[in-house]
Amino acid sequence: MTKINLLQRAKKKKKAAPASFRAILSLLFVGGFLVVLGYGWIFLTGTATRLRAEKSGLSKDLEVLKAQLKEVENFERDKKEVTEKIEIIRQLQRNQTIPVHLLMEISERLPERIWLTRITETAGVIDLEGKATGNGEIVDFINNLKQSTFFSNIQILESRQVIEAETPIYTFKLKWAITI
């Protein structure tokens, strides 16, 4: 009798099945991997496109903000210029009152028979030249100036007698400081 071992053939057939199963499994794996890569590529492409669009929008926003910043800087510069001009105007207004007040004080304290020939002011120091009919009027004028709170350090620099049109006249020079 001949013996046929059917188990070996069956075993051989079973071995052939796993090879095709591996091929199918490999194809499914490669196919799944390609699908995942495709979705990944689509996702990354979409993300890149979205980021480019966002970058473009942000660039436009940056340009708008730069323009606004320039406007703000111009506004600040203009505001500073206007503030400086206002301060100059205020200083001029304050300085205008000094000559008016100075002349008013001098005229209120000026005795009769004295006339002034020159008044100059330099850095808060007054130089005054005038003429009088006598030394008594000059002394009275100096005493009147000393009573003012607007003047300080009153000094007589010169007082001399001259003859004008056959009349004796006293010329004098005074100097004092303005106290504001």
Identify the structural domains of the chain with CATH numbers, from first to last. Answer: 111-178 (3.30.70.2830)
Percent of the chain's residues with pLDDT above 70: 89
Instruction: State the pLDDT at residue 11.
Output: 52
Percent of the chain's residues with pLDDT above 90: 54
pLDDT digits (tens, 9 = 90+) for 46-61: 999 999 999 999 999 9
Spatial CA neighbour of 105 closest among 140, 148, 152 = 148
Q: Is the pTM of this model over 0.85?
A: no
Exposed (0-12), middle (13-18) or buried (19+): which is 104, by Cβ within 10 Å? Answer: exposed
Instruction: State the pLDDT at residue 121.
Output: 86
> How many whole angstroms separate alpha carbon 125 and alpha carbon 178?
6
pLDDT digits (tens, 9 = 90+) for 16-41: 556 687 888 889 999 999 999 999 99
Spatial CA neighbour of 178 closest among 95, 69, 76 = 95
pLDDT digits (tens, 9 = 90+) for 127-158: 999 999 988 999 999 999 999 888 889 999 99
The three-point CA angle 70-73-78 to 5° equals 125
